[in-house]
Amino acid sequence: MVIQCIFEGIVIGSILALIAMGIALIWGVMNVLSFSQGEFLMIGMYITFFLNKKWGIDPILSIPFTAILMFLIGLLIYKTLIRKALKGPILSQRLITFALSMVLVNGMLMLVTSEFRTIQKITFSGIIDFGFLVISKEKLVPLTVSILVTTVLFFFMNKTNTGKAIRATSLDKDAAELVGINTEFSYALAFGIASAIAGIAGCVLAYYYYITPTAGTSFLLFGLIAVALGGFGSIFGAYIGGILMGLVDVFAGVYFNTAFKYVAVCVLFMLVVSLRPKGLFGK
Amino acid sequence: MRKFININKYFIVKFLAGLLAAIVLPLFIKTPFPLHVMILICIWAIMGMGWNFIGGYAGQVSNGHALFYGIGAYTCGIGVKNFGASPWVTMWIGVMISMGIAFVLGAPLLRLKGHYFALATMAMAECGRIIFLNWSYVGGATGIDFFDRSKPSWYTMQFTSKYPYYYIFLFFVALILLLTKGLDKSKFGYYLRAIKANENSAQSVGIHTAKYKLLAFMLSAGIVSLAGSLYANYLQYIDPTVVMPLNISMMICLVAVMGGIGTVIGPLVGAIVLTIISEYTRATFSYINGFDLFVYGVLVIIIVLYMPNGLISLFNKKQKNKILTPLEMERK
Amino acid sequence: MNRNAKIICKYLGISLFITILLGGCTKYNEKQIEHNDYSQDESPISIKESKEETVKIGVLLPMSGAQSKAGQEVKAAMNMFVDIINESTDDIDIPLAQSQGLPNLGGRKIELVYGDLKSADTALSEAERLITSEGAVGICGLFSSANTKTAAVSTEKYGVPLMSEGTSPTLTQKGYEYFFRVFPDDTMYVEDSFLYLVELNETKQADIKTVALVSEDTEFGKNIANVEKECAEKYGFSIVENITYSSNATNLISESLKLKKADPDVVMMSSYISDVILYIKTFKQLNYSPKMIMGQRGGFMTSELFTALGSDAEGLCSTSAWSLDLQIPLVAKLGNLYKENYSDGVDMIADVLKCSTDLYVLCLAINQAGSTDADAIKEAMLNLIYPEDKLFIAGTGFNFNEVGQNVGTSALICQIKDGKYQTVYPDSIKAYDGLFPLPSWEEK
């Protein structure tokens, strides 16, 4: 049972971690708390769903396409909305992303109705039953994908010039401009990447979750908390924050009380930030 | 000093004119729905003004005030249902409880900066919602249905007509508006603005920042709780999904930001505009699934995007560019 | 002073603008409402008889959010009944079908006015808006128990009949004046579920001893869990696990793990569609196959269950008040009419029929009363005359008792077989022998 809990906790944590990384990136670079990340996740799920319905593409194979498409959608939203919003006060920025999430949810509701859908054609499925541990093959996908994305993102931010430029922009925008970094480009790129990661999270989530326009909303709060738990600006921190929350979620549910499992998550978060106001790995 | 009195004189004239308009206006309304909208405006205005103390003046953006809203509503509900107490009394008990909780939670949470504070308060409100949802003494998910005909209507604050509600709520709006105005130009108000501008320098000039932040947090919690009590009496039914969802916490911010954050009448203006948009989009566009909230969201984005300092910047040309920091005020 | 005058003008101008805005959006011309002394106990606001042609009925449906798909289906079914009433429909042999409009009201036709059900507090204000601004003479719709409660605050205040879809037994204990429920309440449904288990034990030697309760943390879930607890005791089943969970959860892993560990004979669930999908998928991923899953309507009684879960939905049981396989010719006729002309090929399910039957019964009562006055409608409702051979629901007819509950109704249990709900209980109307225990996931 304990082993099963650990496994399930890490799987759930992986998905939260993917959402959290996108939020962490936007937070770190633009200092905006993005409330629309859950909706990007939802749109990613819909892209996966329609690819699957039309051509029978397995969600795992649709990851590259979804990521690219979400990247472009993210760029579009950045260019039309977020760029203007960044000139306003911080709170307005947050509320604009909140209103954006409302627009996206209800726009999707008008487009595709609220009908609950699920991915029907999954080639990569089945279970391996060890008795003490049941591993569903579908759950290995979020696990591997999240580790891959974290690694790729980590190397991109630390080893490539573009990544370094984004980091420089997040540290000091004016100084970055002085040394010839196109900060506008960095911002757009960061927002696009964050949307793409949300899209990837949507792909892996589609394996077991239902797809409806409001599906992303419930993940948002926990994604946000995971970022703050790990400490912002740290991609690694967001990953650990997500995993930790997944573990707390499952263990609190099984050994404490299912009705109060989210209370346990929230209380843990409040305790951590009370003791370490910048999160576990915050600088 | 003279300038100060001048401002006050004009404010009083404005205030009385506004109040008069607000008193006379419903007499021309013959259907309950517009009156319902006006009552909601009052509720949101109280909430917005309450939140404004911590989020607007002190600059500590809380995204969890739904907790206090819920506590206010529940204190009234339990008071009427279980003890037969009058809401006129229980609403103040609710204020006390909210302030107490704000004191206990505010001490550790107010040390957090920026987004961390917002997220911690959000988590706080979410905890509150789940606890109330599973707490059988307060009715749990079933909520409290406290319609009570056995006592006189003024005692239980339960009327079949909407007019008494409107005037009671209007009275509280006026009261809190005056309170805000009084604190706006007081030492307390300036301290809070100093904390908002730069907490470290405020500390260095001898302002006890932790104390004033906590005071502002408690004050705003109390006022929001008051709004919750009033709304509960209007609705006569409460459950955690009605009074404590995350959306309410965000909407409170939205009211203040749309009107003009850190200003006296900003939240009032925001409440008027936001409530009218929200109620009438629903009444007009709800025949298409989701279209009403879509329109609502688009309008909110447009207003917040093009008027980052709130709708009040339309009226107040002097403050059009930005809300003055204490330093700039001194220069003038 | 000049400046003061200016300010006053400005403020009055703004107020005028707001008044116009407030007033302009609502239709004044329809109803005149007189405000009396509000301390009166009787309904204080009398709505003058409308001179228009149509009889307006307010319909509250979830138009946005997760339940709006179900709302659309209900809307389609209601339109079907409105067409049956308004046009002369010969092949459906039920009262009001042959004539055009309501004969006792001089052939006045029915018109539906819609409101949105977002949450419990919008139910109150939308019901109020439909009554006062749109002139609705009755309210029906796809309510949850919580929404029914707040909508009842409005309907009681203005004295308008409310056709309840909320099944909570507490609703009829509140002494509402204008409250009617055509279909069973939770107690009847849950009682039937346990009677079915007893029957299985007796006839099939199913040896069911333990049950686990799974309920979401809403009014709906909590009420049912309470009734289930009482009934389990009454019929001698032991409850091995009682789980309350947050609705619209991000995962249901710990809930499912707990169930797997407890391994009850029957899992009794009250969930909405989103969580039903998630539970079934999680069960499958954890390789946990309960012997029986007994749902209490909600998510178990939606057409989305088939599209979302496909073959995984096979074998799920749910209580219901109606089923397409009832052996009454009218049922098949209505079902076909709905499927062909109104729903783009989606089969009619119980909840959709329930809501639209509410509307139909309200129209019957209005017709019998010959007026749109609430008290006359109530009087007619309590003495509703309906030919028993023209019934299209299970039970004996529409006989409302003094608290507004139809005592002629009865519950039944369906199991999903071949992508359809098929009645398995009670014995007298069952369409096939229930399947117990359910096969494991590999065998399916």
Preceding amide of A64 cis, omega within 30: no
Q: Does C287 touch chain A (CB under 8 A)?
A: yes
Rounded Cα distance between C214 and C202, Å, is 25
In a domain, A39, yes or no: yes
Burial of C14 (0-12, 13-18, 19+ CB in 10 A): middle
Rounded Cα distance between A221 and B232, Å, is 27
Distance from CA of B297 to the nearest CA of C (A): 14
Considering only CA atoms, which of C75, C149, A47 is closest in space to residue B289?
C75
Backbone φ and ψ for C42, nearest 5 degrees, come out as -70, 165
Residues of chain A contacting C72 with CB distance shorter than 8 Å: 113
What is the chain C residue with the closest CA to B237?
C150
The residue ranking higher by pLDDT, A168 or C34, is A168
Mean pLDDT of A79-105: 91
Of B141, B236, B290, the CB nearest to C217: B141
- Give chain A's domain count: 1
Strands C293-295 and C266-270 turn out to be parallel
Please tell me what DSSP assigns to residue C346: P
A31-40, B322-331, C2-11 — which is least confidently predicted? Answer: B322-331
In a domain, A59, yes or no: yes
Record the tokens describing residue A7, joined without a space: 């496994």
Strands (E) located in C85-186: 110-116, 139-141, 162-163, 179-180
Strands C210-216 and C266-270 turn out to be parallel
What is the reported pLDDT for A234?
A: 76
Rounded Cα distance between C182 and C397, Å, is 9
Rounded Cα distance between C174 and B236, Å, is 14
pLDDT band at A267 (very low <50, low <70, confident <90, very high): very high
Considering only CA atoms, which of A97, A220, A225 is closest in space to residue C250?
A220
Rounded Cα distance between A190 and A181, Å, is 14
Mean pLDDT of chain C: 84
Is the separation of the CB atoms in B39 and B97 below 8 Å? no
Backbone φ and ψ for C215, nearest 5 degrees, come out as -140, 145
Q: What is the pLDDT of residues C116-165, one digit of tens each?
A: 888 778 888 889 889 988 889 999 988 787 888 888 888 888 889 999 88
Q: What is the pLDDT of residues B244-301, one digit of tens each?
A: 988 899 999 999 999 988 888 899 999 999 999 988 888 888 777 788 889 999 999 9
DSSP track, B224-248: HHHHHHHHHHHHSEE-HHHHS-HHH
Q: What is the pLDDT of residues C378-400, one digit of tens each?
A: 999 999 888 888 888 888 888 89
Rounded Cα distance between A51 and A45, Å, is 10
The residue ranking higher by pLDDT, A93 or C444, is A93
**Residue bearing tokens 């809190």:** B176
Given a cut of 90, whether residue C365 has pLDDT beyond it is: yes
Given a cut of 80, whether residue C209 has pLDDT beyond it is: yes
Mean pLDDT of C426-434: 84
Mean pLDDT of C351-375: 91
In a domain, A40, yes or no: yes
Rounded Cα distance between B281 and B296, Å, is 7
| Torsion angle (degrees, nearest 10) of CA B264, B267, B273, B275 | -150
Given a cut of 50, whether residue C370 has pLDDT beyond it is: yes
Considering only CA atoms, which of B74, B50, B69, B85 is closest in space to residue B173?
B50
Burial C225-264 (b: 16+ CB within 10 A, else e): bbbbeebbeeeebebbbbbbbbbebbbbbbbbbbbbeeeb
What is the chain B residue with the closest CA to C67?
B289
Q: Please name the residues between 305 and 324 in chain C that touch chain A, using a CB distance below 8 Å.
A: 307-310
Q: Does C121 touch chain B (CB under 8 A)?
A: yes
Burial of C135 (0-12, 13-18, 19+ CB in 10 A): buried
Interface test with C, best of B153, B286, B295, B315 (most C CBs within 10 A): B286
Query: CB neighbours (10 Å) of residue C371?
Result: 18
In a domain, A125, yes or no: no
pLDDT band at C194 (very low <50, low <70, confident <90, very high): very high
Considering only CA atoms, which of A14, A85, A64, A73 is closest in space to residue A40?
A73
Q: What is the pLDDT of residues B175-218, one digit of tens each?
A: 999 999 989 888 999 999 999 999 899 999 989 999 999 999 99
C190 to A151, C146, C232, C321: CA distances (angstroms): 52, 19, 9, 12
End-to-end CA distance of chain C: 86
Three-class DSSP labels, chain A: CHHHHHHHHHHHHHHHHHHHHHHHHHHHHHCCCCCCHHHHHHHHHHHHHHHHHHHCCCCCCCHHHHHHHHHHHHHHHHHHHHHHHCCCCHHHHHHHHHHHHHHHHHHHHHHHCCCCECCCCCCCCCEEECCCCEEEHHHHHHHHHHHHHHHHHHHHHHHCHHHHHHHHHHHCHHHHHHCCCCHHHHHHHHHHHHHHHHHHHHHHHCCCCCECCCCCHHHHHHHHHHHHHHCCCCHHHHHHHHHHHHHHHHHHHHHCCCCCHHHHHHHHHHHHHHHCCCCCCCC
Question: Which CATH number is A105's domain given?
Answer: 1.10.3470
In a domain, A41, yes or no: yes
Is the separation of the CB atoms in C59 and C78 below 8 Å? yes
What is the reported pLDDT for A233?
A: 66
Q: What is the pLDDT of residues C35-90, one digit of tens each?
A: 333 333 333 333 444 445 789 999 999 887 777 888 888 999 999 999 999 988 88
Interface test with B, best of C21, C119, C125 (most B CBs within 10 A): C125
Q: Do A98 and B250 touch (CB under 8 A)?
A: yes
Q: Does A252 touch chain B (CB under 8 A)?
A: no
Chain A residues contacting C via beta carbons under 8 Å: 1, 4-5, 8-9, 12, 16, 106, 109, 113-118, 120, 127, 129, 134, 136, 138-139, 208-210, 212, 214, 217-219, 222, 249-254, 258-259, 261-262
Record the tokens describing residue C269, joined without a space: 């669930």
Q: Does C280 touch chain A (CB under 8 A)?
A: no
Distance from CA of C408 to the nearest CA of B (A): 28
Range of the domain at A40: 2-120+139-275
Is the separation of the CB atoms in B254 and B278 below 8 Å? no
The pTM score is 0.89
Label residue B206 left, alpha or beta by phi (over 0 means left) and psi (-120 to 50 means alpha).
Answer: left
Q: Does B291 touch chain A (CB under 8 A)?
A: yes
Is the separation of the CB atoms in B270 and B259 below 8 Å? yes
Query: CB neighbours (10 Å) of residue B279?
Result: 24
Domains along the sequence of chain C with CATH:
55-183+327-390 (3.40.50.2300), 187-320+412-429 (3.40.50.2300)
Considering only CA atoms, which of A266, A207, A184, A169 is closest in space to residue A45?
A207
Rounded Cα distance between C55 and C48, Å, is 13
What is the reported pLDDT for C7?
A: 64
Considering only CA atoms, which of C303, C320, C329, C322 is closest in space to residue C419?
C303
In a domain, A282, yes or no: no
In a domain, A131, yes or no: no
Q: Which of helix, strand or coil describes residue B307?
A: coil
Is the separation of the CB atoms in A81 and B301 below 8 Å? yes
Given a cut of 70, whether residue B1 has pLDDT beyond it is: no
What is the reported pLDDT for B332?
A: 41
Residues of chain C contacting A109 with CB distance shorter than 8 Å: 64-65, 68
Q: Do B28 and C19 touch (CB under 8 A)?
A: yes
